Amino acid sequence: MFETACSLLQHAVTAGRCPGAALAMGCRGRLLAQAYFGTMAPLDAPFEPVGPHTVYDLASLSKVVAATTLLLQDFASGALSPQDPLRRFFAGAGPQKGALTLAQLLTHTAGLKSWARLDLLGPPPAAAAETILSMPLAYAPGSQVVYSDLGFILLGRVLELVHGAPLPQLARQRVFAPLGMAHTGYAPPPALCAPTERDERGAWLRGVVHDENARFLGGDSGNAGVFSTLPDLARYAAALACGGSLEGVELVPAATLRAACQNATPGLGQNRGLGFQLAGAPGDFFGPLFSPAGFGHTGFTGTSLAVDPAGGLFVVLLTNRVHPARQPDRFVGLRAEIHSAILQEWRAQQGGNT
């Protein structure tokens, strides 16, 4: 099943676009196929093959698996609102940044800079939110979509302030454990982790988050830090493809998930919902065959999750394409190629009715 997609991914590994990969495809709550390719670390003996227990650094896919999911749960319960301003959580935010809303952070329209190395700015990790809020805005809020890790660092801190618990604990109790994602979390044991790049001392980052800011913040942040396996992440994707629930466990109410996947940024060049990237923008990672209702996210390390709710199909791709070093040009377009191959075969099997 899905031979063309598997052939594409095997060729990508052979050609050096990524050292290894794990791919899962399913429909609603049913896993249709999973496949594994290459090795965890081709430059690091004993050249362990990728398998169901290989743990990958999800990078920015953490934004939806943890922070976004937790926030959507809070929106559904009434503990938080998308329109809550930052002044509710950060007394020193000032009038301009204090007026920014959680929705603007989730849609990357808050006016924040796309990136800044917090570890190079001086203040300690505990002052990360204050450091971000002291930076001048890069553009007028609501006028552009500028993808920003800084906004999700703030969102992670909001969750901790509201619930009085660290983000890893919240994610484990309210997302990972209920779905049976036993091998998903922050700061995992390194032995089963696919390595990414070398750190400043020349050691492989293995079980240590690749993102510099998340690493500075202790490995758990709203923007990155979650590690997972293919079977675990396929369960999460299946819950989304089933409207927010899986096997009797409600991850997010269906109405809340539908609202989160509405395009909140029309005319701004990117299609963004609350936390999710939406299909339909030119050149997006979904590929041209995804339904306009498609949603998901990517991670810089070479991970992605995509859901096509029109047919209930979901696709999870996990790689460590930044090992041994980041060469993004080699990876460009691979996700869209695989998605298109899967959807072509899926629609052929269904008689073109999806």
- Tokens 């629609």 -> residue: 347
The closest alpha carbon to 41, from 247, 272, 269, 203, belongs to 203
Measured over the CA atoms of residue 69, residue 256, residue 24 and residue 301, the dihedral's sign is negative
DSSP state of 175: I
Percentage of the chain beyond pLDDT 70 is 97
Reported confidence tier of residue 349, pLDDT bands at 50, 70, 90: confident
Average per-residue pLDDT for the chain? 95
Give 170-181 pLDDT, tens digit per residue: 999 999 999 999
What pLDDT score does 199 carry? 87
Give 65-82 pLDDT, tens digit per residue: 999 999 999 999 999 999
Radius of gyration in angstroms for the set of CA atoms belonging to the chain, rounded to a whole number: 19
Residue 46: cis peptide before it, omega within 30 degrees of 0:
yes
What pLDDT score does 327 carry? 77
Tell me the mean pLDDT in the region 89-115: 97
- Report field, pTM of the whole predicted structure over 0.95: yes
Domains and CATH numbers, the chain: 3-62+167-349 (3.40.710.10)
Give 271-310 pLDDT, tens digit per residue: 999 999 999 998 999 999 999 999 999 999 999 999 999 8
Reported confidence tier of residue 218, pLDDT bands at 50, 70, 90: very high
Which residue type sits at 101? T
What pLDDT score does 352 carry? 58
Alpha-carbon distance of 257 to 129, in angstroms, equals 27
44 against 341, higher pLDDT: 341
197 against 42, higher pLDDT: 197
What pLDDT score does 8 carry? 96
What pLDDT score does 350 carry? 83
